[in-house]
Every structure is written in C-alpha cells, then in structure tokens.
C-alpha cells in the first residue's frame, strides 16, 4: 500500500506520468463523434467516471472546446483526470497549411476553374490525452479490488488479459 501511495503522489505531478497521446486531422464535424467514442470507452471500463465541459478560461490558445474525463480515485477521495480532448478547429492547420478537398462537389459555379472540384478546406485538429496510464491503473486497482485482495478485471478488458476475469496473488 505504501508504494501505491507513493505512485499516487508521483502521478499527481504533470511530469510524473506516462501519457498516451492522440492527434487527429479531421473534418469540422468529427469532434463530437471522437469525443463521444472516448467517453463511451471510459464509461464501459470505469462506471465511476464523469465528463467535464471545460470553461473557456481554462482552455489553451488553440482550443475551441475541451472535455476532461475524470475517474473516481478512492485513495485520494476525489476524482482525478484520466483523459482530455481538445477541439482546436482550424487554428493549427491554418498555421501549418494543412488542407483537404471534400469529396462532395459543390453546385456548379461559372467561376470554377477546376470543373466540379470542391475548394480545399483547412482540416480541424483534435488533440487528446487518450489515457494517463498510471492514473488509469490506480483507478482500476482501487475500484475493482475485492476483499481478498484480488482485482476484478472489467469485462471490456478481459479479451486483452487472455480472458482472465481476476488478478490474484498465487500463494
């Protein structure tokens, strides 16, 4: 238990944990789909998590909207952030000159020099911390620990654990 508390203190510091980062280039309509998928995944694994729609003063310069996913950490007696996703719209792609051409052709225009091609648009960028790995491990261990010390593996994770449903110490 002492080492778990030490790990918790380390994981509370921004430089003290491993992050799984995710960057997406997409159309303007994709953020809500991506965000919904992220929340659904965590909801399936951790039934004790919540989503926060962050206030505009808490956003970085490129972010238009940001959601944080927090999970209950019994040892800390509070929720802790395990994931975050920001919609940066076309802020970053304008600076980098990243565009795409929509597959849908617009209505024919007499000024169109390239036939029925749609004009190029700037992509939207989504930046996410897919998972703060040590914090997620802490959440799983603390929330799924049984009275005998074994850890119940959530159903969605069992295929990745060789079908095991419990982690226990072999005596």
| Alpha carbons 117 and 133: distance in angstroms, whole number | 44
- Is-contact 156 42, C-beta < 8 A? no
pTM beyond cutoff 0.75: no
Q: Which tens digit of pLDDT belongs to each residue from 51-108?
A: 899 999 989 888 999 999 999 999 999 999 988 888 899 999 999 999 999 886 555 5
Q: What is residue 105's DSSP assignment? A: P
C-alpha–C-alpha distance, residues 1 and 158, integer Å: 25
What's the token pair of residue 153?
A: 């593996």
Q: Tens digits of per-residue pLDDT, 49-64?
A: 888 999 999 898 889 9
Instruction: Determine the Cα–Cα distance for residues 44 and 46; give it in Å rounded to an integer.
Output: 6
Q: Where are the domains of the chain?
A: 2-102+118-167
Q: Which CATH class is domain 2-102+118-167?
A: alpha beta
């Amino acid at each position: 238990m002492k080492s778990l508390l030490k790990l918790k203190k380390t994981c509370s510091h921004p430089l003290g944990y491993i992050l799984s980062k995710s960057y997406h280039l997409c159309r303007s309509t994709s953020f809500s789909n991506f965000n919904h998928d992220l929340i659904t995944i965590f909801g399936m694994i951790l039934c004790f998590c919540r989503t926060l729609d962050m206030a505009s003063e808490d956003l970085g310069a490129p972010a238009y909207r940001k959601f944080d996913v927090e999970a209950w950490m019994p040892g800390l007696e509070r929720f802790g952030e395990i994931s975050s996703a920001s919609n940066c719209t076309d802020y970053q792609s304008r600076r980098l000159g990243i565009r795409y051409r929509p597959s849908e052709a617009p209505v024919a225009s007499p000024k169109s020099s390239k036939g029925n091609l749609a004009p190029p648009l700037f992509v939207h960028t989504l930046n996410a911390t897919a998972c703060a790995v040590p914090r997620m491990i802490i959440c799983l261990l603390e929330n799924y620990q049984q009275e005998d010390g074994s850890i119940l593996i959530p159903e969605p994770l069992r295929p990745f654990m060789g079908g095991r449903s419990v982690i226990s110490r072999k005596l």
